Amino acid sequence: MLKWFLYSLILLNIGFFAWNSRSGVPLDKAGQFEEPDGAVRLLLLKEKQQQQAEENQAADKTLMCFSVGPFTRKTAAVAAQKRLKKWGVQTKRRVQKTSVEGFWVIIPPLKSRKAANRQIKKIKELGIHDYFRVATGSQKNAISLGVFSKSSSAHRRLAEMEQKGVKAIISAVDLPKRSYWLDWPSTETALTTEQLARLQKTFKGIGTVSLNCSI
């Protein structure tokens, strides 16, 4: 009985060795799993889809818009917006804040508030009514005699003060400026040349530009 068991065990080992040789799989690699090509292709497809989604998202962030302006007054921008709506163009109003150079006519800062008040009393006696005392900042206790957007206007004011014996100077100052624009996506209808000409006839100095909507 033992003899037959040993013969069976030997035959089983020979059979396993023969099968392993025909399969071409080394014994030290048997039992290891290799990922099929289909799974690799699926992984690459997912990565490509994710990359495409990221590219689409980036494109959305740089969506371009048409813009008409600048309008110097809000009322003008509102009126133009209503006209564009009649033409089937839905716009959003945007405020652009900038600064421009201004010209400030002032009596330079005095030593104290009391001294500034004495100077104010004198200019009031001269018939000058457009003024105020600067209460804070680097020009504290100076006396403002007017702020102008044009140099010529500031110099006229300065000459007027000099004729009355008031010693003043012109100081540069930044003046806040607002302008208004009407924006809509470039995927919508653009203005025709005729429509733009009609707008420019009513609202002087405006034009059209393209810009990034996310700005």
Q: Which residues contact 143 (CB under 8 A, 6 or more apart)?
A: 106, 107, 110, 116, 119, 120, 123, 131, 132, 133, 134
Looking at domain 100-175, its CATH class is alpha beta
pTM exceeds 0.75 for this model: no
Looking at domain 61-98+177-212, its CATH class is alpha beta
Residues of the chain with CATH 3.30.70: 61-98+177-212, 100-175
CA 93 to chain CA centroid, nearest Å:
15
Q: Are the C-beta atoms of 147 and 102 separated by less than 8 Å?
A: yes
Q: How far apart are CA 185 and CA 67, in angstroms?
A: 9
Q: What is the pLDDT along the chain (215 residues), one digit of tens a residue?
A: 544 544 555 555 555 555 555 555 454 444 444 555 555 555 555 566 666 655 555 544 568 899 999 999 999 999 999 999 999 999 999 999 988 899 999 999 999 999 999 999 999 999 998 899 999 988 999 999 999 989 999 999 999 999 999 999 999 999 888 999 999 999 898 899 999 999 999 999 999 988 888 65
Q: How far apart are CA 9 and CA 2, in angstroms?
A: 11
